[in-house]
Amino acid sequence: MTQPDPQFEALLVYLKEERGFDFTGYKRSSLMRRVGRRMSQIHVPDYAEYLDYLQVHPEEFTALFNTILINVTGFFRDAEAWDHLRTDVLPSMLAGKGPDAPLRVWSAGCASGEEAYSLAILLAEALGPDQFRTRVKIYATDVDDEGLTQARHASYDDREVQGLPPELLERYFEPGGNRYTFRKDLRRSVIFGRNDLVQDAPISRIDLLVCRNALMYFNAETQSRILTRFHFALAGGGILFLGKAEMLLSHANLFTPIDLKRRLFRKVAPSHVGNGTQFTEMPQPAPRNQVVGLDRLRTEAFSASPVAQVVVTADGLVALSNRQAETLFGVSPREVGRPFRDLDMSYRPVELRGLIEQAQVERRMIRVPDVEYQRSPGDKVHLEVQINPLVDTDARLLGVSLIFLDVTAAQHLHEELEHANRQLETAYEELQSTNEELETTTRSSSRPWRSWRPPTRSCSPPTRNWRR
């Protein structure tokens, strides 16, 4: 990790305070390259001087933001992934919905709109234009006002429509001059608005969230925050479609791959302690032979188990505890008969009292997957805690068994794997964003600077500016 450059960081703070643009969560390597590129165009030697320059020349903000916000896009960009969305993912998504159920789609980081209209075309093809008009809403957002203005016009030149199959171009666009305008009757279902992925609230109840080639510009921490919002934005079972450099290997807790290669993921249901497993007591096999000293054997087996375990009666008294529980929490056989809620371990390292009640009421095992516990100074362990209701053959509640599995080693391995995955993702994203930078470098010489209007600051709700 390179040390942050204080002058550069001061510049980012200035951009945030002056124009409401928060670039602090963007990857430094690419960001510094792009700012540096703009500075060399106007022959400013360092970041401090560039900050002074911005103070004196406010029009420079426009040029700078144009340089930073890479807006490379296209219709059905990465055709193979879109094909998979069309042939496999959309049909099953639509089949899971009622025939009149509304469909909510979000294109986040939509640039000049090609992605949003690609989605409109796919859905109109799948549903037919009438159903599309009544059922579909496509929210398309970006932080770049200039891009949004272009997107709202829905008008593209020859070069921009090149990626479209001719039959789709003919069906969905009206030619005029040397431009093509998206069909007005379908255009009404596409709603554009400014939304800053870093600062603004997400749109909710989304069935399909498309955010391609935008996440890769953010650092890992900001990506995580955005992904948590995306998780919130999606309805149950909702689909997330990312760009080809964006893998999410390290966010398996929020999204599970439908097709990793095409970067299609499904929302994992909000994690709730417990895995829904119904716990019932196994019927006891009829004893074949009498075993002498069975009770002692049972007690000893329970006591010597390498897994810490405590059993609490249905009315909340400590019934059993084993040696591991004593080592870990200091609960000894002397506590037997005491109310469990009086013990420290009833709320430390995790609040167990409510969970015990829940397990008893719902008659199912509750699982708390990762609990950090400071066993002694400098000795931290990770535990998986399971709360199992114990019932007899008539389904009468006997009590609960509390099991504490030491998952420290597995947790460390998991962290190392996540770290390696993050590094892999970052390297791949860097490569992809450098490619996009190169594309804009070769294009931008023919492109006039876009006029800058101050952004609506993040304190105004993002949905206020929705316009078709």
Ligand X SMILES: C[S@@+](CC[C@H](N)C(=O)[O-])C[C@H]1O[C@@H](n2cnc3c(N)ncnc32)[C@H](O)[C@@H]1O
Structure tokens at 302: 């329970």
Task: Strands of 260-321 (E only): list them.
Answer: 264-267, 308-313, 318-321
Residue with Cβ nearer ligand X (60 or 436): 436
User: Which residues of the chain form contacts with ligand X (CB under 6 A)?
Assistant: 69-73, 77, 109-111, 115, 142-144, 147, 196-198, 212-214, 243, 436
Q: How far is the CB of 211 from ligand X (least distance, A)?
A: 7
Q: How far is the CB of 14 from ligand X (least distance, A)?
A: 17
Residue with Cβ nearer ligand X (39 or 245): 245
Are 377 and 398 contacting, i.e. CB atoms less than 8 angstroms apart?
Answer: no
Q: Is the bond preceding residue 91 a cis peptide, omega within 30 degrees?
A: no
Are 365 and 275 contacting, i.e. CB atoms less than 8 angstroms apart?
Answer: yes
Residue with Cβ nearer ligand X (304 or 438): 438
Q: Report angle CA 372, 280, 304 to the nearest 5 degrees.
A: 50
Are 359 and 313 contacting, i.e. CB atoms less than 8 angstroms apart?
Answer: no
CA dihedral (138, 143, 146, 150) in degrees, to 10, reads: -10
Residue with Cβ nearer ligand X (218 or 329): 218
Task: Strands of 263-307 (E only): list them.
Answer: 264-267
Q: How far is the CB of 251 from ligand X (least distance, A)?
A: 18
Distance separating alpha carbons of residues 273 and 368, to the nearest angstrom = 5
- Measured CA to CA in angstroms, residue 136 lies from 132, 153, 289, 456 at distances of 5, 20, 69, 27
Residue with Cβ nearer ligand X (213 or 322): 213
Q: How far is the CB of 222 from ligand X (least distance, A)?
A: 9
> Three-state SS across 348-394?
CCCCCHHHHHHHHHHCECEEEEEEEEEEECCEEEEEEEEEEEEECCC
Q: How far is the CB of 243 from ligand X (least distance, A)?
A: 5
Residue with Cβ nearer ligand X (147 or 238): 147
Residue with Cβ nearer ligand X (111 or 240): 111
Q: How far is the CB of 440 from ligand X (least distance, A)?
A: 9
Q: How far is the CB of 56 from ligand X (least distance, A)?
A: 26
Tokens 């597995």 found at: 410
Q: How far is the CB of 76 from ligand X (least distance, A)?
A: 10
Residue with Cβ nearer ligand X (106 or 172): 106
